Structure 1
Amino acid sequence: MSKFDRYMLSQLMMLFGFFALVLVSVYWINRAVSLFDQLISDGQSAWVFLEFTALTLPNVIRLVLPVAAFVASVYVTNRLASESELVVMMATGFSPFQLARPVVYFGLAVTLMVAVLAHVLVPASRTKLAERRGEIAENVASRFLTEGTFLHPASGITFYIREISPRGELEDIFLTDARTPGRRTTYTADRALLVKSETGPKLVMFEGMAQTLATATASLSVTRFADFSYDLGALIGAAADRLPSVEELPTPVLLAASADSAAAYGTTEAAMLLEGHERIARPFLALVSALIGFATLLTGGFSRFGLWRQIALSVVLLVFVQFLANGATSLVARSSSAWPAIYLPVAAGLGIAAVLLALAGRARRVHHGLVAAVAS
């Protein structure tokens, strides 16, 4: 690697780190705000909130890194052009393709980062996040132990606790169960305890009364009890074996998808192939983004008025590549046999970058030819 390659690569990596940090922070904070409202309103602690936001971070980074690579490439190229460093390098005989070498190294480095995230870290974080969500869904205390508030944890259920004693006893309980059509049962008790069992959590009420109203006959039956056990496991849903989502599955399993394996995971063959091939193709969009940003600005020559038109064009081209990616995703989602289309946006993006570099080299040769003609 030449000195210029090392110099430009160091500039790209430094600016990439800065822009990635800024974009990840903005994206993450925006995601964390909604997550904070959801978890805190469910009675979760700040530690659970931090754990959840940390588990969402790998996917946020995966989405942001290609954008940061594009911004860094455009910024560094624009600065080198405005300071005439690219002019000097091209005057020494460097072609646009030679100048693009450090951008290729940079793009491949970012591609490797995104690939590690897509194949390893994101599936692992999604699996852990789904497990933690399941644990919290089964945590009855976080959903029911709220003082002085009428809760509706499920359709037809109303639950109220006046106070929770320091010993963990629930005082003055009100529970209405109207899930059975034509019948409404209201339980009241002086105190209650939450007890775990093999079949799920149970609410054990003491010194209370159960009033059952049959709406069809308008008859009311009252039963007083010294203690009564109410099954909360049926209310929150029994803990069943959870099938992993497509995003959690290993890449080899996704690429070897068949109708039988898709049925076993409760999904479709097209969805599995789509996820698997996207994990391979999408990281290369970081390389495409960096090259398009560099090549587009290189076609603009060296104007003292800046390269704003070329910057705008590079954004348009990147949007076009993303449009192709979205179209390919929709196509493969409808038909599993169309999975090669996932690689079309990467091929198109690299083709656009190559054409732009060739145009930049041609414009340079034409310019030098005119200068030589005038001089003669």
Structure 2
Amino acid sequence: MKVVERYILRRAFVVFAAALFWTLAIVWTTQVLTRIDFVTSSGQSALAFFELATLVLPSVIPVVIPFAVAIAVAQTLSMMNGDSELVVISAAGSSRLATIRPILLLAAGASMLSFVVDNGIDPFARQRARELVSTARADLLSTVVQEGSFRKIDEGLFVQIAERLPDGKLGGIFVADSREKNVDLVYYARDGAVIDMDAKNVLLMSDGVVHRKTVGASVSVIKFNSYAFDLSAFSSAASQIVLFAKDRTLGSLFNPDPNDPVYMKAPQQFRAELHRRLTEWVYPLVFALIALAVAGDARSHRQARIHPIVTALSFALIVRWLGFFVANEAQTAPAFAVAVYLVPIMASAISIWFILTLRSMELPVTWADNAAAFVRRIGDRIILVRHRLLGHPVPDVKGHS
């Protein structure tokens, strides 16, 4: 590899790594915020909470990598063009391959990373995440004995424990059960305990009352000395782990078990997921070609109306949306399976045509004009609002007061 190629590769890789890191950091933060209820509703530890949030990242990385490549290539070539470095490289006798080779090398490495994460890490991360959620739901003992807060055991079933007594019993038990239609049951008990009875998890309540309320009838109150509330059904149901097509390894998608209940119910989803796995990893290469077609020409953005990053990301978003659309439709319509492969192939072919013919891929002029006009209108409105808030004379649209 020539010196200039190593230089371009190094600059593009730095931007790619930064874009990937900060995007994943933002995504991880949002996942942390959306999964706070995992701790509050199930009583799990902070370690399990952060583990679950981290296990989401392998699902996001293959989606983010292509856009990080597009940003890196467009930004690097745009800056080099602005500093006239691309012109100097061309004037020194170097061919366009000196610019294209390092970009394709970066994209190839990103594609390999995407393939490994999507097919080697993500399925196991998804399975582990389902195990964590299942364990949290099945661990009813740790859920129920949390003091001073309501715990949702099932849809329409809530339990609250006032305190844990020194002898291991539970004090101040409250159970609200509205699972049966038009019937509300409320249990109050002075104390109780979660015990194993006939191989079942049972909440045994002592010295309490049951309030029963039905539609159109008054509340009936029944006192009891002891009452056993069966929890085993919820524990066993919650502990079952169901793996869908997205949770399976590449090998199991190629050769699914014909007796698998999930596969028998939706075999087309397994085939659609296989097609998605076989094409997802090529998008970094596709987006690199798009960015090269947009910003690879030394003269391309002297006359450009929109920044190359905006143009490259706009085309990339269109292509990725088409990819998501056909992959989603392929889950129910087998005819869309061909389109899953055609989208990246056609996008690559169009980009290569622009590169080989020394043309610059740009957004339509009307789009650029409309975007510029929109930005100007926003700027004018900001100026008007600022002047009104400060009590200054309001300027007209041309900036005259």
Q: Same fold (TM over 0.5)?
A: yes
| Greater mean alpha carbon deviation, residues 116-125 or residues 329-338 | 329-338
Q: How does 1:147-296 map to 2 (within 5 A)?
A: 147-151=147-151, 153-166=153-166, 168-180=168-180, 186-196=186-196, 199-209=199-209, 222=222, 224-225=224-225, 227-235=226-234, 238-239=237-238, 241-256=240-255, 260=258, 263-265=261-263, 267-296=265-294
Structure 1 residues 297, 176: CA separation in 2 closer, same or farther (over 3 Å shift)? Answer: closer
Structure 1 residues 191, 318: CA separation in 2 closer, same or farther (over 3 Å shift)? Answer: same
For the residue of structure 2 that corresponds to 1:95, the secondary structure is: coil
Structure 1 residues 155, 343: CA separation in 2 closer, same or farther (over 3 Å shift)? Answer: closer
Note the C-alpha offset of 1:317.
1.8
Cα distance in structure 2, aligned partners of 1:312 and 1:3: 29
- The answer (yes or no) to whether the contact 1:205–1:228 under 8 Å persists in 2 is yes
In structure 2, what is the equivalent of residue 369 of structure 1?
A: none
Cα distance in structure 2, aligned partners of 1:362 and 1:306: 9
Identity among equivalent pairs (%): 22
Q: Give the residue type in structure 1 aligned to 2:4.
A: F
In structure 2, what is the equivalent of residue 320 of structure 1?
A: 318
Q: Deviations over 1:170-205 (max 9, x none)?
A: 112233445456766554332111225674422122
- The answer (yes or no) to whether the contact 1:324–1:344 under 8 Å persists in 2 is no
In structure 1, what is the equivalent of residue 25 of structure 2?
A: 25
Cα distance in structure 1, aligned partners of 2:97 and 2:222: 87
Cα distance in structure 2, aligned partners of 1:311 and 1:332: 31
Q: Deviations over 1:298-342 (max 9, x none)?
A: 246166677745443322321221232133214312223542321
Cα distance in structure 1, aligned partners of 2:88 and 2:130: 55
Structure 1 residues 200, 354: CA separation in 2 closer, same or farther (over 3 Å shift)? Answer: farther
Q: Give the residue type in structure 2 aligned to 1:89.
A: I
Structure 2 residue runs without a partner (length 5+) = 362-401
- The answer (yes or no) to whether the contact 1:69–1:286 under 8 Å persists in 2 is yes
- The answer (yes or no) to whether the contact 1:12–1:72 under 8 Å persists in 2 is yes
In structure 1, what is the equivalent of residue 343 of structure 2?
A: 345
CA RMSD of aligned residues (A): 3.2
In structure 2, what is the equivalent of residue 354 of structure 1?
A: 352
- The answer (yes or no) to whether the contact 1:297–1:310 under 8 Å persists in 2 is yes
In structure 2, what is the equivalent of residue 46 of structure 1?
A: 46
- The answer (yes or no) to whether the contact 1:328–1:344 under 8 Å persists in 2 is no
Structure 1 residues 343, 164: CA separation in 2 closer, same or farther (over 3 Å shift)? Answer: same
Structure 1 residues 81, 153: CA separation in 2 closer, same or farther (over 3 Å shift)? Answer: same
Cα distance in structure 1, aligned partners of 2:153 and 2:135: 16
Cα distance in structure 1, aligned partners of 2:358 and 2:187: 80
- The answer (yes or no) to whether the contact 2:295–2:301 under 8 Å persists in 1 is no
Q: How does 1:59-70 map to 2 (within 5 A)?
A: 59-70=59-70
Note the C-alpha offset of 1:18.
1.2
Note the C-alpha offset of 1:122.
0.6
In structure 2, what is the equivalent of residue 112 of structure 1?
A: 112
Structure 1 residues 158, 128: CA separation in 2 closer, same or farther (over 3 Å shift)? Answer: closer
Q: TM-score, normalised by structure 1?
A: 0.83
In structure 1, what is the equivalent of residue 364 of structure 2?
A: none
Structure 1 residues 274, 147: CA separation in 2 closer, same or farther (over 3 Å shift)? Answer: same
Q: Deviations over 1:213-245 (max 9, x none)?
A: 7889979584532x4432112345535643311
Cα distance in structure 1, aligned partners of 2:325 and 2:184: 52
| Greater mean alpha carbon deviation, residues 20-29 or residues 214-223 | 214-223
For the residue of structure 1 that corresponds to 2:36, the secondary structure is: helix
- The answer (yes or no) to whether the contact 2:67–2:313 under 8 Å persists in 1 is no
| Greater mean alpha carbon deviation, residues 177-186 or residues 167-176 | 177-186
Structure 1 residue runs without a partner (length 5+) = 364-376
Cα distance in structure 2, aligned partners of 1:32 and 1:328: 30
Cα distance in structure 2, aligned partners of 1:122 and 1:257: 18
Cα distance in structure 1, aligned partners of 2:17 and 2:122: 20
Q: Deviations over 1:221-273 (max 9, x none)?
A: 84532x44321123455356433111111112213459x45755354222111
- The answer (yes or no) to whether the contact 2:294–2:360 under 8 Å persists in 1 is no
| Greater mean alpha carbon deviation, residues 138-147 or residues 30-39 | 138-147
- The answer (yes or no) to whether the contact 1:202–1:230 under 8 Å persists in 2 is yes
Structure 1 residues 219, 293: CA separation in 2 closer, same or farther (over 3 Å shift)? Answer: closer
Cα distance in structure 1, aligned partners of 2:331 and 2:153: 35
Cα distance in structure 1, aligned partners of 2:30 and 2:327: 26
In structure 1, what is the equivalent of residue 393 of structure 2?
A: none
Q: TM-score, normalised by structure 2?
A: 0.79
In structure 2, what is the equivalent of residue 71 of structure 1?
A: 71
- The answer (yes or no) to whether the contact 1:288–1:349 under 8 Å persists in 2 is yes
Structure 1 residues 358, 280: CA separation in 2 closer, same or farther (over 3 Å shift)? Answer: same
Structure 1 residues 20, 156: CA separation in 2 closer, same or farther (over 3 Å shift)? Answer: closer
